[in-house]
């Protein structure tokens, strides 16, 4: 954590996690008024009135999941490349245009082996759509969905974490199987 002090009539302290660039425990404390009071014995009391705002600069907001629409984009695990948080449970759902498939290429991959996982789903994140579970430090091969929805779920334990992952995705036209009756051929093999 880093504390930033600013001068002027209103003193303030801002706390931001600059190592992980996350907005987990960020705060800003504004000291609005400070008054001095003496009691009969001459002891000085400081009366401090302050307000606390829990907000962060835009650059410190991290994303843990969400629905992504559009032809292409990238997904990074929270905190990438400095490490994802312990206890993460993030789900990204990529939605392509109708009749498109989603092609995913891993650009970086480091997930704590055997304890943290990136689960892939060919559709919405439901057990019937489960495709595979990735873990370890080797970049997986590219993956292509069978339909226009593909989901990823990062699950981490509460101990060690690794750098995380970065993927690029792109929607591509699904090649629709052509009718067996092409150019006058009915599809039956010749004798």
Binned at pLDDT 50, 70 and 90, residue 134 comes out as: very high
Lowest mean pLDDT across 45-54, 88-97, 175-184: 45-54
Q: Tell me, what's the pLDDT at 83?
A: 95
Q: What is the 3-state secondary structure (H, E, C) of 128-184?
A: HHEEEEECECCCCCCEECCCCEEEEEEECCCCCCCCEEEEEEEEEECCCCCCCCCCC
What structural domains does the chain harbor? 2-60 (no CATH), 66-173 (2.60.120.290)
**Per-residue pLDDT at 147 exceeds 90:** yes
Lowest mean pLDDT across 23-32, 98-107, 165-174: 23-32
Mean pLDDT for all residues in the chain = 74
Q: Which residues pair with 35 in a beta bridge?
A: 47
Q: Sheet of 89-95: strands edge to edge?
A: 66-69, 89-95, 149-155, 117-121, 130-134
Instruction: Average the pLDDT over 62-72 and give the result.
Output: 88
Q: Tell me, what's the pLDDT at 38?
A: 53
**Whole-model pTM?**
0.61
Binned at pLDDT 50, 70 and 90, residue 174 comes out as: confident
**Per-residue pLDDT at 20 exceeds 60:** no
């Amino acid at each position: 954590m880093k504390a930033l002090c600013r001068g002027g009539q209103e003193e303030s302290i801002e706390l931001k996690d600059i190592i992980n660039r996350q907005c987990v425990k960020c705060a800003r404390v504004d000291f609005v008024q400070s008054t001095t009071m003496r009691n009969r014995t001459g002891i000085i009391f400081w009366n401090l009135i302050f307000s606390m705002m829990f907000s962060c600069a835009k650059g410190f907001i991290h994303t843990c999941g969400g629905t992504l629409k559009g032809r292409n984009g990238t997904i990074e695990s929270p905190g990438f490349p400095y490490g994802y948080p312990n206890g993460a449970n993030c789900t990204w759902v990529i939605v392509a245009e109708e009749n498109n498939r989603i092609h995913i290429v891993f650009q970086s991959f480091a997930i704590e082996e055997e304890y943290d996982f990136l689960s892939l789903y060919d559709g919405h994140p439901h057990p019937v759509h489960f495709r595979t579970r990735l873990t370890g430090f080797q970049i997986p091969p590219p993956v292509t969905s069978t339909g226009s929805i593909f989901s990823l779920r990062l699950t981490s334990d509460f101990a060690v974490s690794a750098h995380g992952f970065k993927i690029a995705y792109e929607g591509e036209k699904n090649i629709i199987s052509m009718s067996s009756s092409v150019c006058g051929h009915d599809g039956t093999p010749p004798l």
